[in-house]
Amino acid sequence: MAGERDFHHIKRVVVKVGSSSIIYPTGRPNLSQMEQLARQLADLHNQGKEVLLVTSGAIGVGQHRLGYTRRPRTIPEKQAAAAVGQGMLMHMYDKFFGEYGIAVGQILLTREDFSDRRRFLNARNTMYTLLRQGVVPVINENDTVAVEEIKLGDNDNLAALVATLVDAELLVLLSDIAGLYDADPRKDSGARLIAEVHEITPELEALSGGAGTPVGTGGIVTKLQAARIAMHAGIVTVLASSSEKDVVRRVVAGEPLGTVFWPCSRLEKKKCWIAYSSTVHGRIYVDEGAARALLENGKSLLPSGIIRVEGSFEMGNTVSICDPAGKEIARGIVNYSSAEVERIKGLQTREIARVLGHKDYDEVVHRNNLVLDI
């Protein structure tokens, strides 16, 4: 598959559009861009493909309607702008898609909808039902209720999580840049487009910058994060410019637009959820021997290799597992609480029952609930 963009078999696609792509610097919606996007997605829908749209823009549209002269900075201001702007945004999408006889359904999500397994499955069932009914889900973060603790923070990562949620085959990230470059094209006229990525290396991550525009919250860094999630879920990701004529249709048709991120080793669904959707409740530090056992031999985490515990967590929570230097090497679901791990750290498995008065598991984290190299 690598080297040739053959997407004719794609059945389900998630398209993400950023604020700067559908909102003018004045804060007013770019109706032409929104109409063109709706037409392209409607055409894919008419071909029998299932399409989900992840859209930014609610805060940007709302801030103009509320008369803000700058992007809101406080959480209450952002929530007020989102409350006003989200309705306006959905009204416009409903109008544009409605012209092609297609219904849209609004879905607003927070991190808790992904980190809580039951809510995760409920959200997936809702999206599957909408798709079966021929509805195009229009998805955004629920900025009207989100606070820092439950915010996803940007819609690039939201789009990648949605793509894994519904088992999409293709994720298209539309932005105000034409793809991933070897330098910042806004500052370096000699910057070259990177056509393909097979692995997100530290060198690629070094190309990341901050948020790109006053109306956006993302940047290359969030797009690389999103691509990494999709790659590990077995999903092809294409980063392309929203201003390119018929960009979505042409990407799906296999034209070499933007940057394509090819899937790498695919994580099973449960491990993908552990790695990217679940909330990390604490840290477990392990010695060098345990780190090697995890990384090189695929072993479970036993209490004997644990040297330190941070945070408060319960059995069934997700924790970050770090080497002695503090680098995260894995993430997994624990079989014991933080208080219990604190008591049994450094001990042999046979000593667990004596110290705790019970032993439900030999492993603190079983390898089946462990994801390496996050």
User: Which tens digits make up the pLDDT trace of 128-177?
Assistant: 999 999 999 999 988 666 555 435 567 899 999 999 999 999 999 998 88
**Model confidence at 215: pLDDT above 60:** no
Q: Where is pLDDT greater, at 242 or 25?
A: 242
Flag whether 32 is marked binding.
no
Q: Terminus-to-terminus CA distance in the chain, angstroms? A: 25
| Predicted local confidence at residue 115, as pLDDT | 83
Flag whether 254 is marked binding.
no
Flag whether 371 is marked binding.
no
Distance CA 72, CA 56 (A): 15
Domains of the chain: residue spans and CATH: 12-271 (3.40.1160.10), 279-372 (2.30.130.10)
| Predicted local confidence at residue 290, as pLDDT | 96
Flag whether 143 is marked binding.
yes
| Predicted local confidence at residue 151, as pLDDT | 53
Residue entry with tokens 């991550």? 205
- Cite the DSSP H helix spans in the chain: 19-22, 31-46, 58-65, 75-98, 112-115, 117-132, 155-165, 202-205, 220-232, 247-252, 269-276, 288-297, 338-344, 352-356
Percent of the chain with pLDDT over 70: 93
Give me the mean pLDDT over the 61-68 stretch. Answer: 85
Give me the mean pLDDT over the 257-278 stretch. Answer: 85
Distance CA 224, CA 172 (A): 13
**Model confidence at 179: pLDDT above 80:** yes
User: Residue 79: which pLDDT band, with cuts at 50, 70 and 90?
Assistant: confident
Give me the mean pLDDT over the 228-236 stretch. Answer: 91
CB 27 within 8 A of CB 63: yes
Flag whether 116 is marked binding.
no
Flag whether 300 is marked binding.
no
Most trustworthy range by pLDDT among 73-77, 148-152, 192-196, 213-217: 192-196
Distance CA 150, CA 110 (A): 6
Flag whether 349 is marked binding.
no
Nearest CA-CA partner of 50 in 136, 142, 124: 136
DSSP 237-254: EEEEETTSTTHHHHHHTT
Q: What is the mean pLDDT of the chain?
A: 88
Flag whether 305 is marked binding.
no
Tokens of 159: 């789009």
CB 305 within 8 A of CB 339: no
**Model confidence at 125: pLDDT above 90:** yes
| Predicted local confidence at residue 218, as pLDDT | 47
Give me the mean pLDDT over the 97-117 stretch. Answer: 91
Flag whether 197 is marked binding.
no
| Predicted local confidence at residue 61, as pLDDT | 86
Flag whether 269 is marked binding.
no
At residue 210's C-alpha, the angle toward residues 204 and 216, to 5°, is: 120
| Predicted local confidence at residue 341, as pLDDT | 97
Give me the mean pLDDT over the 84-99 stretch. Answer: 94
| Predicted local confidence at residue 144, as pLDDT | 67
Most trustworthy range by pLDDT among 217-226, 256-265, 269-278: 256-265
Give me the mean pLDDT over the 174-192 stretch. Answer: 83
Q: How many CB atoms lie within 10 A of CB 371?
A: 23
Flag whether 56 is marked binding.
yes
| Phi/psi at 117 (5° precision) | -60, -40
Flag whether 277 is marked binding.
no
Flag whether 222 is marked binding.
yes
User: Residue 261: which pLDDT band, with cuts at 50, 70 and 90?
Assistant: very high
User: Residue 273: which pLDDT band, with cuts at 50, 70 and 90?
Assistant: confident
Q: Which long-range contacts (CB under 8 A, 24 or more apart) does 204-213 make?
A: 204/180, 207/180, 207/181, 207/182, 207/183, 209/184, 212/20, 212/175, 212/176, 212/177, 213/19, 213/20, 213/25, 213/176
Tokens of 218: 């993302």
| Predicted local confidence at residue 103, as pLDDT | 97
**Model confidence at 307: pLDDT above 90:** yes
| Predicted local confidence at residue 2, as pLDDT | 45
- Cite the DSSP H helix spans in 211-337: 220-232, 247-252, 269-276, 288-297
Q: Which helix (H) or strand (E) holds 72?
A: none
Distance CA 68, CA 262 (A): 41
Give me the mean pLDDT over the 332-355 stretch. Answer: 96
| Predicted local confidence at residue 213, as pLDDT | 42
Percent of the chain with pLDDT over 90: 60
Distance CA 368, CA 274 (A): 11
**Model confidence at 66: pLDDT above 70:** yes
- Axis-axis angle for helices 220-232, 269-276 (nearest 10): 160
**Model confidence at 97: pLDDT above 70:** yes
